[in-house]
Every structure is written in structure tokens, then in C-alpha cells.
Structure 1
């Protein structure tokens, strides 16, 4: 097995896939704790459906670099989702359902009407559940992912205290004069960027797993916000690396293998948490 790994890591595309997977896991786990605690877990699912619709439009338009189209559309929908969720007539969960289902349906409709390939079912399946495209990424895509990942990490570190306040007691933070809408907007935009980055890795339907599972696993063991965030990052990165390596060795889908690894880590963390509680 070690010889096989050494053989595969001689190829640049395998190293690129591992680098991108680690960066995506790092970014998604940072915001995962905040989204889980704010009951915004499904915002990732909603925005992933929006990204699917944007990808369908980009494929119909035959855009050479679909990232330039998907990213702005997803960020715009994240802002729209935040604004709509604050409307008293349309609650947050209804807004997520409305936008996500609408984008998913329109995307699939466009892919059917303006089919760009002979295997429509395969294209849709690979977009929803991930594909081997993570193993065909170029050095330019790796650099783009690296730049966006650095931006996400820097924003999270810069506004860490503000995000902490908005996460735990938004009403009190607003009463003290903090502009909570701005920081909620930052959270929504960062989440949209993470969604777009993760689409090629796990597919639009499995993105929420990268955000939710590491955070829930860390919460089984630790109790403070900082320790949970750090533990979530460590678990997410380890699971991403293990999932990519196992998918290469076993020939399984990359996205599904990473999510399965995250699920296993969640059960292990639950056992550790219960054992620590008894002690």
C-alpha cells in the first residue's frame, strides 16, 4: 500500500487534489461551528443548490472558466437569502427552501433543454455527488483555491471576536451597538465562497457534510468556542486527507469517501465524548 501511495504521489494531479482538499476542508470547518450554533446548517445546502443552478447556466453558455460566473451568482444569492430571511413575511427556513429548490429545478431544466453532452444523467450525477474532476484540476485552479482560502481564513481571524458575539447572542450584540447585519453578511459571503470551492470535491448535495460533521464531532469532545473550532479544523483536514487517499487507492468516489470518513469521525468523537464524561 505504501509503495502504491508513493507511486501515485509522483503525479502532480494527485498532489493538487490533496492540496485543494485540505484547503477546502480547512475553510469549511471554520464556518461550520458558527453555522451549526446559529441554526444555519441548511444554508450550505441551499447555496449548494444555487451553485448547481449557476453551473448549469455556465455549461449552457459554454464558459471556459465557469468559476467566474458561479462565484458571483452564489455570493449574490447568499446576500439575497440573508435579506429575504429577515423579512417577516418569509422566514429564514422558507427562504432557504424557496431559493434552493428553485435553483435546483431551474438548473436541471436548463441542462435538459440545452444538453451539452451525450450523457446527461452522468453529468448531473457527477455535479450533484462529485466526480473525478478533482483529480484533473490544473495548477491555475489550485492557485485560485489557495488565494480564496487565504481570504477566508484572514477574514475569519480578523472578525473572530465579532463572529463569536453574533454566534452566541446576536440580540445582545445588536443592543451594544454592533452592526450585526454586516457580520452576518460576511458569514454568508464566506459560506458562499466555500460552497463554490467545494463543489468539485464532494458535489453540490454533499457540501453540507463538510460544514456540519466536523463541527458536530468537535462539539462531542470540547465545550468552548475556540477549542471546538480548532478541533473541527483538525478533524476536517484529517478526514479530507484520509478520504482522498482511500478514494485513490480503492477507486471510490472522492466526495462520498470523504463524507463517509467524516461520519466515522463523528461516531468516534461521540464515543470519546461519552467516555470522557463518565471519567
Structure 2
């Protein structure tokens, strides 16, 4: 009889890592058939063993990469190192009935925002025009096109590689009648398109800097803005709401607020849904 397949990554690594090392193993991101590990420095010497264990436990994973630096830079990319399996960074990810081709070394993608993407799609009303200021490879825009009654979604990104994949993903998902990909800086792009009922700002690192752009993108009578920011306990939302009220100079009504994920102890990636008029 062959060896029994381990039921979990922790089980696969028992006897390979010491108990204190096992305690440091965290969940990994899975994008398509690529697993992305984040390891503490003391485990880097065993990255290959850990990567091979991931392949053994998860038969759907073909490639294991190690994230070597945080997401940074104008194009929002991160350092990645090949660890095990097939040496590649491109994959096709499936989410909410949509397909997304992405090269993880050339553009940003997070599977952890899948709930939020579908949540916002359910908020869109019949016939709305939506503008996405930071569209990446098109995830929010395409899911809105497939799962909401929006009439048009302007999908803007500065990264040429992300834009190229966005265009391909629009074709893959057959939403070219709704999603309009735009390559360029959102500050300039919004000047040449129709005004929106709803604006998405899914880039917390830049949302405060681009608030004026979001206001420019909205219809004169106002609309809804999904404002992504960083928040800290004990009050992760109030500072962001105060910023919106103070800097917009307009009436701001909070419709909802959510913690999306933790990025440090008691620190969160958050989103505020606000009506601005």
C-alpha cells in the first residue's frame, strides 16, 4: 500500500519541523493553482521542505511561491521567489463564477477580498454607472458586471501589465458590453468619462490622496463612494469618516463600515461605504 496522504500542512510537516517551528506556519494565499507563502526569517532555510509539503497536501496546487517583500511601488507589485512545483507566476483564478488571468509578479491580486467584491455587487442598483479608480486586473469591475445591474463600469489602472490582463479578463468573461478598461492615472482618466453614481477606491494606500478624484468622478448631485483605508483598534472607522467629512467639504453619510482583513496586530484594512452629496 502507498503512503497515506497527510490531511493538513501541519500534519505533513510533523517530524520535519520542530514544534516551535510548526507553531509559526500560517495560512497561505491560493491564487488559481499557485500558493503564496509568507514565512518568518527563521523558517526560510526550510522553505523548500514546506513548499513540497504544500504540494503533497493540496493536489490542486501546481506552484509554490514565497513572498519576499510587501506590495509596494506605483504598480503595486511584490517580491516573489520560486519554491516548489512548476516555475511560473501566471495562473487563472476562479471566483464567483468569473475567471481572472493574472501574473502575480507583474500585478496585484488578493483572493482575500472575494467576499467584499460580491458584497458591493449586491449593493449596485439598476442602471448605475460605476467608476473603479484602482481596477488592477479587473476583479471588482468584472464581478460587478456579472453580478449586478450596473449599466457601465469604467475600470482604470496605471499599471500597463494589469491593464493588459484586465482587457483579457474582460474578454474571458464576456463583459465587454459593460466594462470599459482604461490605462492611465485615475486623476486624468476621470476627466474624460461620464460621471458616476458609484465610485470604488480599493487601494487603501492611495485612497486619501485620491479623494478629490473620487469626488470629480461622481455625478454633480453626488453618489456612493467605497473608501478603503487602514484602521486601528479600539476605533478603526471614526478617523477615516472624520477625514472624509473634513476633506470633502460635502455632506457625508455613513452607510456601512467593515474590517476586511488584519495586516498587523489590532490593525485592519477597512472599507467605508458612504453617500456623498
Q: Which one scores higher on RCO, CA 8 angstroms, separation ≥ 6?
A: 1
TM norm. shorter chain > 0.5: no
Whichever structure has more strand as a proportion of its residues is: 2
TM-score by length of 2: 0.23
Larger helix fraction of residues? 1
TM-score (norm 1): 0.23
- Larger gyration radius, structure 1 or structure 2: 2
